[in-house]
Structure 1
Amino acid sequence: MMTAGASLKPLRANLFEMACVSHIVHGMWRAPGNARHRFGEMSFWLDLARLAEDAGFDAIFLADVVGVYDRFGGLEAALRQGMQVPNLDPLMLVPAMAAVTSHLGFGVTFSTTYEPPFAFARRMSTLDLLTGGRVGWNVVTSYLPNAARNFGLDDEVPHDERYDRAGEYLDVLYKLWEGSWDDDAIVADVQGDVFSRPGSARYINHAGPHYRVEGPNLVQATPQRTPLIFQATGSPRGLELAAGHAEAIFIGGRTRDDVRRNIAQTRARAAALGRDPADLKFYVMAGLVPGRTEAEAQEKAARYREFYSVEGALVHAQAEIDLRAVDPALTIGEALAQQGRSIGNMGRRFGPEQTIGAALKQVGTFDEGRFFACGTPTQIADEIESWLDEDGIDGINLRQYHSFETAQDFATLIAPELRRRGRMPEQKRGETLRGRLFGHDRLPATHPAARYRDPAALQVKEVANAS
């Protein structure tokens, strides 16, 4: 906890979403009153956006995949569970939600691996312009084998090659977003018959190992130019990309020391790459189940667990083995070895030393580690304050159990207590997403994108190793 008189770190909160029936907490779409089955209706997203803005969330954060989870149980299991299929395009949802809100932000997930950067630059610039700068981009490289086959490949692009592509992809985007238009390009001079000032937009002439893009961007300079950049760390290459480029980073760790160490390591690497470590904020996925009393909260969590699907969790984990059919006393590593399997998705998610029984309990209770709190608003606020002050995180992606009960509970039970403690900041109409989180609309001068604000830098032929 913070000492008396110390400055209080505010909680930055996103509502974690995906345009499907089953995102993370599988099987819950069947629960009474759950609106998940309406995800294909415009009214679902308009209702959600209004609720999220009123609750004080910074943004609705939209996950995405471009393939199906078909390793465990095949396509049939994924379809039966509605496990992220069917799944709508998240970028298409933003304009509708932005139209009924004034300061809610939107984070959208998009992969750097399969679609060309020029088209994506145009779409994101369009969203940034139309929303007044309320968008962010979650940079992913995609990992599902089915995703690769959907774009004409036989299998996944190798891990390191995906990150090589991502580094160059970002380089192209920065040239288009930061360098190809001047801020004062649009003059709309009726008398002089000039709409855009000659010389105010320029070709980028990017020529690299993976992409050739002449430019300029088809959209003028937007409020943020480059949308707020989200990314998750995991592998060493993921850490390198996040430390070099991301502003909001999703971090993990099984213990408080793990989380603090991961944050410190990422900040240190960002500093080594010439960035200001203060330009990074760290987020975790959190589960919050509040009640007006402890008993009410526990009853609610028990009600949620009645509908939770272990099969859906195994499909999502792309499990190599069926945990339900293995001796619960074995460790994950032992069970995989018995079946001649390597330490793959199961080992990464649960740890090879964890027992099958413990893994099944974790799956079945959906507590998902240390960032879970169930109790009264006071108890949950105490937990959140410890995450902020002792773990060192800056924000959460709130995992949803029930739509819209989870968001409504945050709005009516948790947010008021956080505001009472000075932990929930007031939002201002007209803020950009970056402005809300960092106090400035554009990327700082220490970010690698800033070099392309000098038109001369656009003509440098070699591609910086940004991965």
Structure 2
Amino acid sequence: MARGKRNRAEETTPSVAKRLRSSSNGEAGEETSSTEPQNGHQKKQILLNAFDMSTVGHLSPGQWKNPKDRSATKRNLQYWIDLAKILERGGINALFLADTYGGYDTYEGSLDNCIRRAAQWPVTDPTIPISAMAAVTKNLAFGITASTSFEPPFLLAKRFSTLDHLTGGRIGWNIVTSWKKSAFKAIGIDTPIEHDQRYAQADEYLRVLYKLWEGSWSEDAIINDVENDAYIDPDRVRQINHHGKFFNLETRHIVDPSPQRTPFLFQAGTSPAGSAFASKHAEAIFVTGHDPSVVAPKIANIRRLAKEEGRDPASLKFFCTFTPIVGRTDEEAQEKLAEVKKYASTIGGLVLVSGWTGIDLSKLPLGKEITKEDSLEAHKVTSALSAFTTTSKTIPKWTPEVVAEVASIGGLGPVSVGSPSTVADELERWVAEADVDGFNLGYVTTPGTFEDVVDLLVPELRRRGIYPQKANDGLTAREKVYGAGQAHLRSDHTGSAYKYDVYKEDPPYVEEDAPEKVGLNGNGNGQSKAARANLKCPLDNTPWPRPYDRWTISETKDGRFSSVWIIAAHVGVPGNEVADQAANEAADHNPSARADPRLPPQPEKLGIFMDNHETHHSPDDERRVRAVLVRRQSRQKALQTRREATKGTLATTHNTLVRST
């Protein structure tokens, strides 16, 4: 039965004309808009990225059968070298490389059709060819997709710092969170991470990376002191001590600062969680949709959220998927479309969309309208699901039949067919109606599509004054977007709070529903309330500066064993009344609670109070605890001696007795 549906889909050849915008404007170069600035203002410059993937076909499955297509040769390094040279010649902003960590097995519940149709299968590593492409270009940037779900932040930080060095700062990272079951099973995990939890994990992942990229190394850490045999000053390479919900590490970044430190940050995802994530972290957002009316609200929402985060909404750049089929005339472009349709794999398109949306389209009648309720994984793939269920004037009804047609050429976004003038008109319409800043241009055939963009479309955009006349040599990926001199993160970006000169470590993660974990022993009421009150202090970004300033033990006259903690809390600070309440409750619990006289009289750090727990212990317990304390104190003293002898080259030590800020 499923095979019968597959055959019907293969035989279906509905007209593409209704969704492919074209016109009869005639020859290329026909004037459609003025090249002069409007109202004395410079026209908005369009950014163009080439959109590719280390796989066969990418967004137009089946073209491997086309004699003109070389997408099946991407395992040959020459493919990437040739492509980079073409894009450099056209002044293309960046080569944006997609990636995936598992095959598409939703269609018919099997991976077989993904493999058979070469629907983004096989897939090689996108990072490997970058250095070769960088060696034959001066200006082309590279955006590489990598997931936050499968490798520790330290490894990704090392790889991207290395690439940023080798390319002279021309590296961007497309941040994604993974959801495919096949990908998780490939690394030995049975169940994918829930959607919103993925973004919570990714948020912490980024904070760890900012610490490594921005906060670990001083700009002047490399001293090249030949006389003293010192290449790097270890005092200028900070150890990162991150103890979060998802990640724990104590290390210094192993790579010295690259030209950008943090790579230019792309992000794809417009769900509520994805939009919130983008508003904090992304510098450029990859959006999908087949009509400006579908994309515009998503862009407006993320810009609004960015403003609430204290960022300039205009600093976020939005790139829409867009597949151009360009000819010297509209008629020639239509002939190119007719030719590529001969090789399009409708089943390959259904395989991709089934995977993107979580809907097994083989089970739906060809004429049935697709809804979000059809997805068994709607909570995991909300952005792609929205793209293929939200109707518009361009596509008033989504059915498997329409999807088979749309996804076989262009996949995720609109396809524009026509002369350079026709396609340029469409790009300008999207900029005006959706507020996009640029486009990720997909290809139908390679070579072919990108050559037409460089030789036909780019000259038309330049003639209109909406595309740079010439690329500026030597700019980083970030400078190509924000302008010369902005190689590092903007000051209003979330990651700027972790820069070396202003760095402050985040407080350790505390389970919201398990406050008793804050205490080392006993019921921990005082410690828990003080620590959690501190988390709300508005005057310090490190609200838990000394969670365990001292832990002492003593034996009372009646044989009881007493353990004492001194906890830091911000008391007497306007807006932090919860700390005052915690101090009062601690005083009720322990009448000897007091401010620590060792501290200078700083109002914002006045409240040091004690939480004294007295518990009965057996002699064996006392001997065991005392032995632990003596051993740890001896180790601490030895480490301190070594630290002084080597002028601070050892990392700060951490143990349960003393945690330094």
TM-score class, shorter-chain normalisation, is: over 0.9
* 1:453 maps onto 2:499 in alignment: yes
Shift of 1:335: 11
**1:86-130, CA deviations, whole angstroms, 9 ceiling, x for partnerless residues?**
211111121111111111100000000110000110010001111
**Which structure 1 segments of 5+ residues have no match?**
none
1:5 paired residue among 3, 16, 40: 40
Deviation at 1:368, TM superposition (A): 5.5
Aligned-partner Cα distance in 1 for 2:377–2:284: 33
| Partner SS, residue 214 of structure 1 | strand
Check whether the contact 1:9–1:389 (CA below 8 A) recurs between aligned residues: no
- Report the alpha carbon displacement of residue 277 of structure 1 after superposing the two structures with TM: 1.2
Higher mean C-alpha deviation, range 245-254 or range 264-273: 245-254
Output aligned runs, 1:182-331, within 5 Å: 182-318=218-354, 320-322=359-361, 327-331=365-369
Is contact 1:253-1:262 (8 Å) kept? Answer: no
Question: 1:67·1:147 contact (CA, 8 Å) conserved in 2?
Answer: yes
Residue 30 of structure 1, CA deviation = 1.2
Cα pair 1:252 1:262 within 8 Å, conserved = no
Q: Secondary structure at the match of 1:82?
A: coil
Gaps of 5+ in 2: 1-32, 391-396, 510-534, 536-661
Supply the AA of the counterpart residue of 2:137: T
Say which is worse superposed, 351-360 or 89-98, in terms of deviation. Answer: 351-360
Q: Distance in 2 between matches of 1:16 and 1:457?
A: 36
- Please give the alpha-carbon distance, in whole angstroms, between the structure 2 residues aligned to 1:442 and 1:14: 21
Q: How do residues 12-411 of structure 1 correspond to structure 2 at under 5 angstroms?
A: 12-73=47-108, 74-318=110-354, 320-322=359-361, 327-333=365-371, 336=374, 348-351=386-389, 354-363=398-407, 366=410, 371-411=414-454
- Which residue of 421, 437, 444 corresponds with 2:490? 444
Q: Is the 8 A contact 1:243 1:269 kept in 2?
A: yes
State the alpha-carbon separation in 2 of the partners of residues 257 and 38 from structure 1: 37
CA distance in 1 between counterparts of 2:377 and 2:312 reads 40
The change in CA–CA distance for 1:357 and 1:53 in structure 2 (over 3 A counts) is same
Q: CA deviation at 1:192?
A: 3.6
Cα distance, 1:219 vs. partner? 0.6
The one-character-per-residue Cα deviations of 1:355-406 (angstroms, maximum 9, x if unpaired) are: 444334434564755x331111111112212222332110100011111111
Q: Measure, in 2, the Cα distance between the counterparts of 1:8 and 1:452.
A: 36
Q: Which amino acid aligns with 1:10?
A: Q
Aligned identity (percent) is 39
Task: Tell me the alpha carbon deviations over residues 269-308 of structure 1, each in whole angstroms, 9 at most, x when there is no partner.
Answer: 0010121212200110001011111110000011111111
Residues 393 and 349 of structure 1: CA distance in aligned 2, closer, same or farther (over 3 Å): closer
| Secondary structure, counterpart of 1:25 in structure 2 | coil
State the alpha-carbon separation in 1 of the partners of residues 416 and 234 from structure 2: 57
Residue by residue, what CA displacement relative to the aligned partner does 1:28-77 show, whole Å, maximum 9, x if unpaired?
11111211121101111111111111121111111011111122242221
CA distance in 2, matches of 1:163, 1:26: 30
Question: Which residue identity does 2:472 align to in structure 1?
Answer: K
- Alpha-carbon contact 1:333-1:343 (below 8 Å) kept: no
Q: 2: distance between equivalents of 1:144 and 1:129?
A: 32
Larger Rg, first or second structure (1 or 2): 2
Deviation at 1:343, TM superposition (A): 6.6
Match of 1:432 among 476, 484, 493: 476
CA apart distance, 1:435 = 0.5
Q: Number of residues paired by the alignment?
A: 460
Q: Is the 8 A contact 1:332 1:347 kept in 2?
A: no
2:538 equivalent in structure 1: none
Matches of 2:389 and 2:69, distance apart in 1: 33
Mapped to 2, the partners of 1:313 and 1:288 lie a distance apart of 18
- State whether residues 204 and 458 of structure 1, in contact with CA within 8 Å, keep that contact through their aligned partners in structure 2: no
Q: Is the 8 A contact 1:175 1:458 kept in 2?
A: no
Cα gap change, 1:44 to 1:140, in 2 (>3 Å)? same
- SS of corresponding position for 2:127: helix
Instruction: Letter of the 1:362 partner, please give it.
Output: V
Please give the TM-score of this superposition, normalised by the length of structure 2: 0.66
The aligned amino acid for 1:68 is G
Give the TM-score of the pair, scaled to structure 1.
0.92
Distance 1:132 1:334 in 2: 44
CA shift, 1:329, in A, is 3.7
Question: Measured at CA, do residues 366 and 248 of structure 1 come closer, stay the same or move farther in structure 2, by a change above 3 Å?
Answer: closer
Q: Which amino acid aligns with 2:498?
A: Y
Structure 1 range deviating more: 113-122 or 354-363: 354-363
Q: Distance in 2 between matches of 1:164 and 1:42?
A: 37
For residues 91 and 166 of structure 1, the distance between their equivalents in structure 2, rounded to whole angstroms, comes to: 21
For 2:400 and 2:185, the matched residues in 1 are separated by: 32
Q: State whether structure 2 residue 423 is matched by structure 1 residue 423.
A: no
RMSD across aligned C-alpha pairs, in angstroms? 2.4
Tell whether the 8 Å contact from 2:203 to 2:277 is kept in structure 1 after alignment: yes
Q: CA deviation at 1:254?
A: 4.8
Q: Distance in 1 between matches of 2:246 and 2:69?
A: 45
